Chain A
Amino acid sequence: MNNELYRRIIPKILISKSVSVGKTNAITTRFYQHFRIMGTPTSQARIFQANIADELMVLNVDRLERDFVNFLDIVSKVNDVIFMPLSVGGGIKTFDEAARLFEIGVEKVVLDSVFTSNLGEVEKIAGRFGSQSVIGSCTYWSNESTANLNDSKRFLKSMDVPKRIKQMEESGIGEVIINDASKDGSRLGSNLRMLKEVVSTTSLPVIDSCGFGKTSHFIDSFHQGASAVAVGSYFAYVDQSILQLRNQLSNYGIRVRIK
């Protein structure tokens, strides 16, 4: 990567209303299933702000009981406590939803399932708001031996990923995020093989996501060409803040923002 930009660490705040009735919590997931409640969205946002994260990503993991109005409210409250770019995703399917998110100050929308259901909407969003405001998300399940567990059929197979990447590029997105759901929450490392393949086939910046558990995992990702890493469980369970992590990465020669 020779574009002079700093490599980015993007914490993910996964939110769900369905886990506890009436309240929207920040949760962690394992293999894209609810795992544990780990806090409240605004509190976690404040903590990431104090730790000088590069960007913040808020994802709505509720699928059946999606409450967009509530989601909009939470996103707005989160945005109020941060002064950094906010990317938001999780079942966004229409131009209208994207527009309402941009209106409250969201910097980028993360689109995933809409690529299979309604490609035209993506083109509309990217056309109106600009490519740089759309992150195309590709979620796949690479572990063939567990492919029947956890409703993993709803994810792409590894071999379908290149085609999806191409499709996303053509629709006008500005960035790609790849998620190996079979590594989600495992803390055993992300899918470096897929990362390498995707980085070599697209000229768009690639965000590596799912599976980080140790400092060396991040180093591997950046060495394979990831422009950013999106991190969920790691900051929820490991005693290493973003500031501490960036220090360590910088010691290994990775260009990150050091204050």
Chain B
Amino acid sequence: MRVYYIKRMTTPSLKKCSLCLLPQTHETISFDIDGVCSVCSNSRKKSEIDWGEREAELFKITEQIKKLGKDYDCVVPFSGGKDSTFSLYYVVTHLKLRPLVTSFDHGFYRDTLLENRNRTLKLLGVDFISFTPNWNLVKDLMLTSLRDRGDFCWHCHTGVNAFPVRTAVEKDIPLVIWGESSTEYTNYYKTEQFHEIDEELFNRITNLGISAEDMLPRLQGNHEVRSLKPFMFPSQSEIKSKGIRSFPLGNYIKWDTRKQVETIKKELNWKGTSVEGIPPGYEYEKIECMMQGMRDYLKFRKRGYARTTHLTSLDVRQGRLSREEAETLVAEFENRKPFSVKLFLELLGITEEELEDIIQLNQIDPWNGNIPIQLGPKPKDYDAWEKKLIIDIL
């Protein structure tokens, strides 16, 4: 594949894929001679894979696991969102494994999500463990990672990825089955590769280049090392010695989001909801977190594109939307401040000016877009968020 070189211009504007709308500031992206991006080319490779063969291989692995006769066959990391719900459903009904379902509660789960979760766990009949870290630590971590990376989700990225594997190590469970493969949206690994969710992936993609050990001194002595343990991924040697495998289900079955959403809606009465900054028609996406709107907003300020670009690009790739239709949606829904900004600032105790300073420092070259003027609409469960997040002593 010959690489398409971007010419440097005096007034930089973002180069976008000629097929989808992903710009050059996307995490790992390159362009071919026709300007088609590597995420598009990678997704084409998906159809070249013999998924029947791969699924057969998965069944072989799971048969071996069952023979071990452990208390649980596997750990299934579960938030209640569409991907983890489908994974859990598949593990129970198709692979017929006995899972221990785990959830790392980052503190921002929305009510619709919790209702979905409750329904799914009861309908499928599984054992479930949830862990919620210290709220004061979470707020400190959010602020520190916001300052150091322009991304406040460090505790969530690391906690969600570490907790299931830590559980597997502690309880001697031989397998952790995740949801979609990272190759769906990024090029850190090749589609043909069977990548594992291991320490290397954690250090490469998950922890923003900061491990729990590195985070501790950045917290200015306010927390002890043991409070950060939930955010530490087990070492390679710990995992190897217990013979634990940890991989995404997306390595072995063809990931088709819309089809999977139909399945969980039908079988588990799964319900979606609206999310800040996302157009209607995508109510199955990212419904878990109250701060999703803020997260996408920061991504937009940093890289010049966000959730709407990502979702419409997926549809363009699958032929469900034309590029022009996608562009219209992006123009309308991105470049807006989410309503929840005020809540976010109050939660972290910073001013809008301070937030703006942080954003300015974190923009990824060559993007240097300005503050959007328009404010998004108030989410329907916003009052519930305020009630849950702002705890008054009086």
Contact = CB atoms under 8 A, between A and B. Distances in A.
B151 A47 contact: no
Nearest to B28: A247
Contacts of B200: 50
A211 B151 CA distance: 23
A242 B174 CA distance: 33
A235 B187 CA distance: 20
B300 interface: no
A39 B210 contact: yes
Contacts of A44: 214
A258 B199 CA distance: 21
Interface in A32-72: 36-40, 43-44, 46-47, 49-51
B8 A252 contact: yes
A20 B24 CA distance: 41
A38 B144 CA distance: 11
A239 interface: yes
Given A39-B217, A258-B30, A240 B364 contact: yes
**A39, A215, A258, most chain B CB atoms within 10 A:** A39
Contacts of A20: 217
Interface in B115-152: 148-151
Contact of B30 (A38, A39, A237, A251): A251
Interface residues of A, number: 35
Given A39-B217, A239-B150, A241-B204, A47 B211 contact: yes
Nearest to B190: A259
A214 interface: yes
B204 A247 contact: no
B65 interface: no
Contacts of B188: 243
Contacts of B27: 244, 247
B105 interface: no
Interface string A209-230: 0000011100100000000000
Contact of A39 (B204, B213, B366): B213
Interface residues of B, number: 41
Contact of A215 (B3, B211, B365): B365
A247 B39 CA distance: 13
A236 B210 CA distance: 8
Contacts of B213: 39-40, 43
Contacts, number: 99
B214 A38 contact: yes
B119 to A, nearest CB: 36
A239 B364 contact: yes
Interface in A55-97: none
Nearest to B208: A239
Interface in B16-47: 24-25, 27-31
B335 interface: no
A238 B362 contact: yes
A158 interface: no
B225 to A, nearest CB: 11
Nearest to B3: A250
Nearest to B362: A239
Contact of B209 (A36, A37, A235, A247): A235
A40 B361 CA distance: 24
Interface in A245-259: 247-248, 250-253, 258
B4 interface: yes
A214 B365 contact: yes
A50 B204 contact: yes
A133 interface: no
A121 to B, nearest CB: 35
Interface string B203-219: 11001111101110110
B6 interface: yes
A92 B252 CA distance: 52
A66 B366 CA distance: 41
Given A38-B214, A39-B213, A247-B29, 12 more contacts: A20-B217, A37-B218, A39-B210, A50-B201, A50-B204, A215-B366, A238-B149, A239-B362, A239-B364, A247-B28, A250-B30, A253-B3
27 contacts: A37-B217, A37-B218, A39-B211, A39-B215, A40-B217, A46-B211, A47-B203, A47-B207, A47-B211, A49-B203, A50-B199, A50-B200, A50-B204, A51-B204, A236-B148, A238-B362, A239-B208, A240-B364, A243-B188, A244-B27, A247-B28, A247-B29, A250-B3, A251-B29, A252-B5, A253-B5, A253-B6
Interface of A: 20, 25-26, 36-40, 43-44, 46-47, 49-51, 214-216, 219, 235-241, 243-244, 247-248, 250-253, 258
Interface of B: 3-6, 8, 15, 24-25, 27-31, 148-151, 187-188, 199-204, 207-211, 213-215, 217-218, 302, 361-362, 364-366
Across the A-B interface, the 3 shortest Cβ-Cβ residue pairs = A39-B214, A50-B203, A215-B365
